[in-house]
Amino acid sequence: AKEENALSYIGELLVENQENVIFSIEVQPEGESKMLHATLKQQFFTR
């Protein structure tokens, strides 16, 4: 399904074996004044 006015990005991220990466996301839903925050911590295993 196509979403109008949506911003999507898929990119590459170089990581080392057993590296922890923290992703932080902030969004403001249409019609809302408050920002929503989400954080994800992921450990990567490359070998």
E strand intervals along the chain: 20-27, 36-43
Distance (Å, rounded) from C-alpha 31 to C-alpha 34? Answer: 9
pLDDT 10s digits, 2-45: 677 777 777 888 999 999 999 999 999 889 999 999 999 999 99
For residue 44, what are the domain limits?
1-47
Residue 7's pLDDT is 74
The answer to pTM > 0.95 is no
Q: How many structural domains is the chain composed of?
A: 1
Distance (Å, rounded) from C-alpha 34 to C-alpha 6? Answer: 18
Residue 4's pLDDT is 78
